[in-house]
Structure 1
Amino acid sequence: FGRVPVNAGTTNEYAAWTPLAEATPGLANSRARTGPLVISEIMYRPGFLGDAFVEVSNVSDEVIDLLSGWTVLADNRGSLTQTFGPAATIAPGGKLLIVEGDPDTFRAKYDVPAKVLIFGPMLLSLDVVSESYRLRLAHPDGTIEQLRYASIAPWPVWEGDGVSIERTDLTGYADDPSNWHRSQISGGTPGRDNTPDVPLVDSILAFCSMFGSTRFRERLVRDYDRDRNGVIDTLDLYDYVRDDLNAAGPGDVNFDGRFDSADLVAVFQAGVYERRDDLVTWAFGDWNCDGYFTSEDLVAALQNTVYEP
């Protein structure tokens, strides 16, 4: 055991006492021990008609047999425990889900890959009803990891929009708020790769929120109407992402200053094109601030940004 930094580099930095990856007597502590299974995504307060879930990922190079005693525990509600059914193994890099409703219904609703195990209805209650909520992933050999998440800072802030929290580095310390971010897709990414942590996207969302706003309108127009046409619109947004965020313009989702095939691959792999049941952000193709990735966004990108093959 030893101390590891949490929220490193922020005003909320502190040290946590946790199992370490290796003993280092007389030397700097190693990183926190993680795996072979880790909690990788949590939807604790879904939006209207959404579904709560916990995602667990195998970060090891071995097949993990869940029947060897793996459990997920939620301590805030009388130590509720979720165990796993028969023939339950997770391949290296694989995932499983614990969901609040019927597993088959959940799989169809969220297009979860067939190889992902789904267990439910869950015996856990995930919602944050007090200052924090503790979730543990345990094995008879000892608790593998635990986290005490919250809906307020320094944890990713819940904004009432049905967005999950995703673990940024699956091998990083679980109980570090800076290792979690809000999903870039409404409803989260159950059974699929987590969305990237793109802090710049939050500033774009804030800019979009000023479209049509009547509160403090004169001040907003003065500060953010870059083309001085009397309204704040997508043209002002595109100037902002070019001048302040160093992006090429709409279409440049990785902020490398180019709109190219890498950007198109990233947005189409997410599988949200022309889907109206998933609200997405700039990182997944919403370049006109309507919350969706559609042909209108592609037109906006091609009209306002030079595509580099």
Structure 2
Amino acid sequence: MRIDICAGLGALVLALSNPLCAQVVLSEVMHDPHGADHHDEYIELVNISETEPVDLRGWHLGSEEELDRLVDKGTGLVLKPGQFALVLDGSYFGNSTTYETLHPDVVLLAIQDRAFGRAGWPNSREGSVILSTAGGDTVEVFHYPPAEQSGFSWEKIDLEAGAGSTNWERALVDGGTPGRLNSVYEQRRFTAEGITLKAEPNPFSQTLVLSYGLPASPALVDLWIYDIEGYPIRQLLDSSSSGPSGSVEWDGRDRQGRSVPTGLYIAHLAASAAGRLTQLKKVVVRSAP
């Protein structure tokens, strides 16, 4: 059975005059790629609606200093439900090939200028990323701190939870995750205060310890590992009776005992207590031994 890793992403982030506008959100910011040039800077957007496409014609992206119009680069300007868009600066084309292997479903866009903002995103000081509609409404603003390490993007943790600073973390993988699920992704369904899922170490090479906390107990707990496409790899807990907390190890192997390759995986925790189901999904990263 395959799970829908984007299920439940239909909550609106902002209440704008056009509700569809609020379904497209900032999801990743690469403001300091490797190298001295800004060609590989990118902004990732995603349509979190489950049902409605959004037309990005006339939308703008940039900084407090300058906003630039989004430009179609051959895949159109309509973002389907659950679809990612990768926005590159105009200088990328003809100067870099870093993102030529994007998933074919990713919408590739550019800005009308050759650099984001006035001269590319700042790295030595705080910067801001602003997304606005054709009508001039601000959809989201993300303020990021000065760069600490080149090549690691800022990723949104919960796509439904807005662009506040506590909802962003540095990517766990070098180069970020352009056009795919964020490495720090976490999604809560049927939200209940107090549910937690920690993965340590993350990334891991040999053994991953998954520790959870529950809002109510006793509870029946299921814990699955899925690949990034949503297919089951291994079940670690099967309706196991649990108190308010617990932990389990994953040795990086599938149900047949085979070691899984390096990459992104999804830990899916589901707990049932007092007739209420609570779920939480978190991305974990398998690194090379």
* TM surpasses 0.5: yes
Deviating 4+ runs (over 3 angstroms) = 19-22, 120-123, 197-205, 253-256, 260-271
Report the equivalent of 1:149: 144
Residue 148 of structure 1 and its aligned partner are, at CA, apart by 2.1
Q: How does 1:31-110 map to 2 (within 5 A)?
A: 35-48=22-35, 51-60=40-49, 61-67=51-57, 69-76=58-65, 79-85=66-72, 87-100=76-89, 101-102=92-93, 105-108=97-100
Matched residues, number: 196
Q: Kindly indicate whether the alpha-carbon contact (under 8 Å) linking 2:263 and 2:285 is maintained by their aligned counterparts in 1.
A: no
Report the equivalent of 1:113: 103
Report the equivalent of 2:121: 127
CA-based RMSD: 3.8
Q: Kindly indicate whether the alpha-carbon contact (under 8 Å) linking 2:201 and 2:208 is maintained by their aligned counterparts in 1.
A: no
Counterparts of 2:128 and 2:67, CA distance in 1: 11
Scaled by the length of structure 1, the TM-score of the pair is 0.53
> What is the identity, as a one-letter code, of the residue corresponding to 2:155?
E
Q: Kindly indicate whether the alpha-carbon contact (under 8 Å) linking 1:74 and 1:134 is maintained by their aligned counterparts in 2.
A: yes
Report the equivalent of 1:166: 155
> What is the identity, as a one-letter code, of the residue corresponding to 1:163?
F
Counterparts of 2:84 and 2:185, CA distance in 1: 20
| Structure with higher helix content | 1
Residue 34 of structure 1 and its aligned partner are, at CA, apart by 8.1
Counterparts of 2:110 and 2:165, CA distance in 1: 27
Q: Kindly indicate whether the alpha-carbon contact (under 8 Å) linking 2:56 and 2:133 is maintained by their aligned counterparts in 1.
A: no
In structure 2, the gaps of 5 or more residues are 1-12, 187-196, 212-246, 266-282
Higher relative contact order (CA 8 A, sep 6+): 2
| Structure with higher strand content | 2
Instruction: From the superposition, tell whether residues 70 and 20 of structure 1 become closer, same or farther in structure 2 (CA, over 3 Å).
Output: closer
Q: Kindly indicate whether the alpha-carbon contact (under 8 Å) linking 2:86 and 2:179 is maintained by their aligned counterparts in 1.
A: yes
Q: Over residues 116-136 of structure 1, what are the superposed CA-to-partner deviations in whole Å (9 max), with x where a residue is unaligned?
A: 122237531443356422221
Q: Kindly indicate whether the alpha-carbon contact (under 8 Å) linking 2:158 and 2:185 is maintained by their aligned counterparts in 1.
A: no
Q: Over residues 2-59 of structure 1, what are the superposed CA-to-partner deviations in whole Å (9 max), with x where a residue is unaligned?
A: xxxxxxxxxxxxxxxxx9649xxxxxxxxxx982111100000112378211001111
> What is the identity, as a one-letter code, of the residue corresponding to 1:133?
G
Counterparts of 1:266 and 1:58, CA distance in 2: 30
> What is the identity, as a one-letter code, of the residue corresponding to 1:182?
R
Counterparts of 2:33 and 2:185, CA distance in 1: 20
Counterparts of 1:189 and 1:112, CA distance in 2: 10
Instruction: From the superposition, tell whether residues 269 and 186 of structure 1 become closer, same or farther in structure 2 (CA, over 3 Å).
Output: closer
Q: Kindly indicate whether the alpha-carbon contact (under 8 Å) linking 1:34 and 1:171 is maintained by their aligned counterparts in 2.
A: no
The secondary structure found in structure 2 opposite 1:134 is strand
The secondary structure found in structure 2 opposite 1:120 is strand
Instruction: From the superposition, tell whether residues 62 and 266 of structure 1 become closer, same or farther in structure 2 (CA, over 3 Å).
Output: farther
Instruction: From the superposition, tell whether residues 200 and 254 of structure 1 become closer, same or farther in structure 2 (CA, over 3 Å).
Output: closer
> What is the identity, as a one-letter code, of the residue corresponding to 2:131?
L
The secondary structure found in structure 1 opposite 2:139 is strand
In structure 1, the gaps of 5 or more residues are 1-18, 23-32, 152-157, 206-240, 242-248, 272-281, 287-292, 298-309
Q: Over residues 132-178 of structure 1, what are the superposed CA-to-partner deviations in whole Å (9 max), with x where a residue is unaligned?
A: 22221111342112122222xxxxxx33241001001111121x111
Report the equivalent of 2:190: none
Report the equivalent of 1:250: 206
Report the equivalent of 2:238: none
Scaled by the length of structure 2, the TM-score of the pair is 0.56
Residue 187 of structure 1 and its aligned partner are, at CA, apart by 0.3
